[in-house]
Structure 1
């Protein structure tokens, strides 16, 4: 499967990463970010977590720092919108994103999936499309109890060592999540292996995204 070549070694690419909670970006697109940095792309990242208070705020900042090590430039924003109640705070979140848009113009936006079963994730997706209408948007996936994984159509193959590094950082930084029965190596490897099979990834692993709209030329 031939890639589109979104970014190549030495080229500068700016990305916006949006996550409702402190581990969402890492789970959904962490391997992609690590791969881009390792490939020599000059990556400029604006990393935004919309709900992280107390210990989870510290986790979010420490994790972002580790995942973005080696990037060309990075900015981390952590907001404190109420967890699990994003639909009720839609107006405030939209204003927050509009202010963000006035300051940055990313080449790519990573955000939650439209059909994610978590209400906070869905709200972030809807507002992303509402606010960042002229940008390339890639929707990442989060495995969870709800069984809401879809049929993605865009893939980033991962080297085995990149996947292992992603899992290592997830377990290093998110102590609040380790007690959850799904937050383990088997879940992350299993999903990456499935997506790697779907795109015939050279080392058998991949992260997958939904690409709903794009200009080819």
Structure 2
């Protein structure tokens, strides 16, 4: 398997993290972000969650602060779009993303997968890839009862200890979700172990993404 590096220790990297709901970014790309910071990449992060109640917004900000500890720069934004109704708010969300594009210039974007069964996740993916057409977009996965897991083409092997750190932070900061059967340590560890097996990660764990377009020069 060919490996490519998006950044190395001491080098800057600007990323945009988009999540429909609190905890989405952490579940889908939290280990990757923790690993980049731990590896010494000078990470400049714009972290944006589009829907959250006041309680969930507080969880978002506390969790983002923990995941982004050690980043070179970080901005966290929590929006007020209505949970579960993103398709009916498509125009407003697109206008928001267009305004975001005018003030943020990321090198890498993390967003939801096109094949995610949740309507909010699907809509955010559709609008992200429509608005940010000239960017490297990594589509992450969020496990849920819908059974929408699919084949991925891009992997980030996690550094030793990162899966446990990711799980610890998820369980610490998202008390509102701990009663849900899918929000479980074994689920997060199991997904990462399976993806780690697929890419033969030295640590045994990995996060997986879909990349639609990539230019090699």
Same fold (TM over 0.5): yes
Deviations 1:21-49 (A, max 9, x none): 00000000000000000000000000000
1:51 and 2:51 correspond: yes
TM-score by length of 2: 0.99
User: Equivalent residue of 2:189, what SS?
Assistant: helix
SS in structure 2 opposite 1:126?
A: helix
Shift of 1:2: 3.6
2: CA distance, partners of 1:37 / 1:2: 23
4+ long deviations beyond 3 Å: none
1:68 aligns with 2:43: no
Match of 2:162 in 1: 162
2-structure distance, mates of 1:64, 1:192 = 20
The alpha-carbon deviation at position 108 of structure 1 amounts to 0.2
Q: How does 1:36-185 map to 2 (within 5 A)?
A: 36-185=36-185
Residues 58-110 of structure 1: CA deviation (Å, up to 9, x unaligned): 00011000000000000001001000000000000001110100001100000
Residue segments in structure 1 that go unaligned for 5+ positions in a row: none
The alignment yields a C-alpha RMSD, in angstroms, of 0.6
Q: What is aligned with 1:199?
A: 199
Matched pairs, number: 217
CA distance in 2, matches of 1:17, 1:129: 13
1:3 positional shift = 1.5
